[in-house]
Amino acid sequence: MSELAQDERIKTTSPLRQALVRPELGSIAGTIVVFLFFGFLAYDSGMFSPRGVMNWSTVSAQFMIIAVGACLLMIAGEFDLSVGSMIGFAGMMIAIFSVTLDWPVWTAILVTFLLCTALGALNGYIVVKTGLPSFIVTLAFLFILRGFTIFFPQLIERKTIIGGVSDAAEG
């Protein structure tokens, strides 16, 4: 009786099996497969050269910043479909403020950031106070922001594209 009997109801699993059932492994494996695919397909394109890595990591860093917010909502069981339209709206507002209204670029960025934060807070407020699904509320904001992105430049400049942001940023 000095030995403790092991309960036969407890299922023993190998460390490999425990690793395979974790959801993180699927995303890591998918990332590795994509990198290997493009590594073999575009091996001579310079994708993995220092310049190539800087090129795609600069672009992907911007998407990762946006993805963090979207992932936090998904973890909480909510969705935000208006993220892409908010990006377009923010870019258009920076263009309007810095080019059309001739504000300093940093002021335009700060005001646009505050405006977009307020719109996001309004999104959240509507979801929390009304109890409507975030899918519906953010879908509505997607269309509202797309409309604003087209309407405001037409109202101010009589065109949908405002050029000269890089010139305004350079001074």
| Ramachandran region, residue 102 (left: φ > 0; alpha: ψ -120 to 50; beta: rest) | left
Position with higher pLDDT, 133 vs 44: 133
pTM: 0.70
Query: Residue 22's pLDDT is what?
Result: 81
pLDDT tens per residue, range 19-64:
778 877 888 888 899 988 988 888 788 888 889 889 888 888 888 8
> Measuring CA to CA, which residue among 116, 128, 19, 143 is closest to residue 76?
128
pLDDT in tens, 89-116: 999 999 999 999 999 999 999 999 999 9
% of the chain with per-residue pLDDT over 90: 44
Give the pLDDT score at 4: 65
pLDDT at position 108, please?
Answer: 95
Residue 72 has pLDDT above 60, yes or no: yes
What would the two tokens of residue 48 be?
């993995």
**pLDDT, position 77:** 86
